[in-house]
Amino acid sequence: MYYGGIDVGSLTAQAVLINGKGIHAYKSMGVKPNPVQSAKAVVDMLIQEENVPWSQVKFCVSTGYGREQVQAEGLSQDNMSEISCHGMGASFLVPEARTVIDIGGQDAKVIRIGPGGELIDFVMNDKCAAGTGRFLEVQARTLGLSLDELGTVSLGAEKVLELSSRCSIFCETEVLHYLQRGHSKADIAAGVNRAMAERVAALVRRVGLEKEVTMSGGVAKNVAVRAELERMLNVRLIKYGADSQIVGALGAALMARRMGGNS
């Protein structure tokens, strides 16, 4: 018997299946035009590749921006906030975690959790693209780099150029200005990653840092942002033994197992 979690975000969608032993399988993909299409596509990919009939999924929980629409379509039996699901998923992967930094495409969250992954407190930035994955996406495109390259390229920087604006649009203008003046992409990328980390570190200080600390979401794969956060917060970010992008869907699947009567 399986339990499912579906997380539809602004940029990617994830589906996770768990059983009594832990994570059975998961898939991640870019989103479709609407949340229901995204959920159907990622679930279809998962069950076809794993040869698991959906009838064997006893209970499923959806989370993320499209969680209510996904449930209304009958793909899940309940829905939970991504904050609760990220806390639960992070605690499953790193039981000693007490602070979870989650950076999504359109928001950034810092979540304080208890020993069982229960939510204690959180702070969220969803009113501005600064400090979100969207900020990195815009600056990477301006530099002619992929999101994956943005982190690795900056490791070769000779200096870190300062981006003084707190607005993503004005930062893009600063990046263009640096390019026109002949600065290297590595130095500019290092400035972009540091600016990103500064905004997220400010969120961490608002909610209060408690060790141990983990980081979920796609930006967790950016080695430069991770390194800057570790330096600014004077802490080691514990890595997961699974893809950092599935933490929310994993938490939803764990919620499903609890709700489905097999906690």
Write out the two tokens for 89.
């998923």
151: left (phi over 0), alpha (psi -120 to 50) or beta: alpha
pLDDT at residue 261, rounded to an integer: 63
Structural contact between residues 77 and 261, judged by C-beta atoms closer than 8 angstroms = no
Residues present in the chain in total: 263
Task: Kindly report, residue by residue over 211-232, the tens digit of the pLDDT.
Answer: 999 999 989 999 999 999 999 9
Query: Tell me, what's the pLDDT at 126?
Result: 61
DSSP β-ladder status, 108-113 and 119-125? antiparallel
Q: What is the pLDDT along the chain (263 residues), one digit of tens a residue?
A: 899 999 998 889 999 999 988 999 999 999 998 999 999 999 999 999 988 888 889 999 999 988 999 999 999 999 999 999 999 999 999 999 999 999 987 889 999 999 999 999 999 986 666 678 888 888 999 999 988 899 999 999 999 999 877 777 788 889 999 999 999 999 999 999 999 999 899 999 999 999 999 999 989 999 999 999 999 999 999 999 999 999 999 999 999 999 886 54
Q: pTM for this structure?
A: 0.91
Q: What is the mean pLDDT of the chain?
A: 92
User: How many Cα neighbours within 13 Å face the side chain of 65?
Assistant: 17
